Amino acid sequence: MMINIVTALISGLLMGAGLVISGMTSPDKVLGFLDITGFWDPTLMLVMGGAILVNLPATWLILKRQQPANAEHFHLPERTTVDKPLVLGTALFGIGWGIAGICPGPAVTSLLSGSADIILFFLAMIAGFRLHKATSLLAR
Amino acid sequence: MMPWTEIFNFTPLQGLAGGILLGLGAALLLLSNGRIAGFSGIISNLTNSDRSWRLAFLAGALISGTVLHRVLDLPAADSQLPASGLIIAGLLVGFGTSLGNGCTSGHGICGLSRFSLRSLVAVMVFMVSAMVTVYFMRHM
């Protein structure tokens, strides 16, 4: 549906703007938050806090609906229990995030900001997605 | 005693403003499309058949990110890492978020907002593993 493409575009515009305005597209600023034993920059906590402040009541209201405004049903994750892949995967993600100070949102948002570093990181991240999909196919 | 020595580079208003935009964007995608606004999942599922809304979302983030970066005259999001470090970090972020089903946006903003136990565990694990990684990289 056309409307879904427009709303996805607007959602992306809002989130990209949020990442830039909050400073989260700067790897140094993110690392300044993660480095709690040095000079600490708590900004990321307010970014996540501000996002949840808006999104938590909104999500609660939205999920009371029978269906989304422009789709047949909600696409929510089916798994609800904590398992090994969740813990291992998020631990590996945290290591990568801690090395570079870049996570997937800022990697997309900064892609054309004029940094070759981001492009290299982005390509390696895509390779990481592929690698996981390939190994999970093998494991089946 | 707090573990940090001094608060540094803290930008609370920009962080909060950016966070609110992130929350609004995520709420819009859930309300209209019934989808979770998680960057890692949206990028890694671009090869699925249902790709037009994903492309629109990523295009939105790329457009507002690029334009705001120019307007605010921000420096390129360069890293202090060598290429090998960026590649390792990117691979870990890609593989880890694919295995762990989410990143800072999907688990952090959307998951916590709908009281997902998996997301709560994910956020705690990637925060701790990233902080430990930064500690090793900067202080050991």
Q: Which ipTM score applies to this complex?
A: 0.96
pLDDT value of position B2: 61
Please name the member of B39, B61, B99 whose beta carbon is closest to the beta carbon of A89. Answer: B99
pLDDT of residue A1: 74
Contact B20 A53 (CB under 8 A): yes
Write down the pLDDT at residue B5: 66
Nearest partner of B124 among B138, B136, B134, B111, judged by Cα: B111
Confidence of residue B3 (pLDDT cuts 50, 70, 90): low
pTM: 0.96
The residues pairing with A39 across neighbouring beta strands, listed in sequence order, are: B6
Contact flag A8-B83 (C-beta cutoff 8 Å)? no
Q: Among partner residues A37, A50, A131, which is closest to B95 by beta-carbon distance?
A: A131
What's residue B4's pLDDT? 62
Q: In chain A, which residue's Cα lies nearest the Cα of B53?
A: A5
pLDDT at B45 over 70: yes
The rounded distance, in Å, linking the Cα atoms of A24 and A43 is: 9
Compare CB distances from B23 to A43, A55, A94 and report the shortest one's residue: A55
B131 touches chain A (CB under 8 A): yes
Instruction: Give yes or no for a contact between B132 and A98, defined as CB atoms under 8 angstroms apart.
Output: yes
**A 106-125 residues inside an 8 A Cβ radius of B:** 106-115, 117-118, 120-125
Q: Is B46 on the interface with A (CB under 8 A)?
A: no
Angle at which helix A116-139 crosses helix B83-99, to 10 degrees, equals 40
| pLDDT digit string (tens) for chain A, length 140 residues | 799 999 999 999 999 999 999 999 999 999 999 999 878 999 999 999 999 999 999 999 999 999 999 999 999 999 999 999 999 999 999 999 999 999 999 999 999 999 999 999 999 999 999 999 999 887 76
